[in-house]
Amino acid sequence: MTSAASGISDIRMLAGWQLSGSERHSTALRFSIKFPTGDSDELLGSGGTDISLGLAGDVVGLWGNEKLTGSYRFNATYLGEPDRLTDRYKNLVGQLSLGLGYQLHQKVHLRIRSRIRSAVYDSEIDSLGGESLSLTFGADVHLSDRFRLVLSVGEDIRVGSVPDVSFQVSVRNAAQQ
């Protein structure tokens, strides 16, 4: 890109269905569909419709420690044909994420998460044709009964496969979790 672009990007719809739930372990089936509403010429979208199906789980009280939590996420995504690199994209991309959390204080929950994703394209360029591996460190700070502050820093473990460093700062409404 040689100039800035702005506009609506691809729109994603998400849905989930809880498969099981208890005080200690819950699992959910997740589904998403991404519609090609963004202008691919401006790099605001891919031009293809993507469909993803996955499994998510959360565990409380790992190894008998009530302050320790765990999470896992697996999903497979079918990528619709994009407008660019049509001869190199892969139809199926898989992703696995594993996380650990620790309740440091009543209002502070620390977490670490690793994520691996299969290659999206056939390419000699690592960021396009290689698997990505990243590690994210973060914390959730409960500001009130309704709101929490989410902070995180991500790092590429497999250098060049994802952005070198990423930062997240957000405020979430507890009713939407």
pTM strictly above 0.95: no
Identify the pLDDT of residue 56. 97
One-letter amino acid of 97: S
Task: Please give the pLDDT value at position 175.
Answer: 62
Give me the amino acid identity at 105: H
Q: Name the pLDDT band for 153 (thresholds 50, 70, 90).
A: very high
pLDDT recorded at residue 161: 60
pLDDT of the residue at 24: 92
What is the distance of C-alpha 172 from the center of its chain?
Answer: 16
Q: What is residue 86's predicted lDDT score, i.e. its pLDDT?
A: 85
Using DSSP bridges, classify how beta strands 68-78 and 108-117 pair: parallel, antiparallel or unpaired.
unpaired
**What is residue 6's predicted lDDT score, i.e. its pLDDT?**
86
Domain ranges of the chain: 11-176
Confidence tier at 92 by pLDDT (50, 70, 90): very high
Per-residue pLDDT, 145: 86
Contacts 24+ apart (CB under 8 A), 90-98: 90/118, 90/119, 90/120, 90/121, 90/122, 92/118, 93/117, 93/118, 93/119, 93/120, 94/118, 95/54, 96/72, 97/71, 97/72, 97/73, 98/70, 98/71, 98/72
Q: Which numeric CATH code is attached to 11-176? A: 2.40.160.40
With CA atoms as reference, report the closest residue to 40 among 1, 79, 91: 1
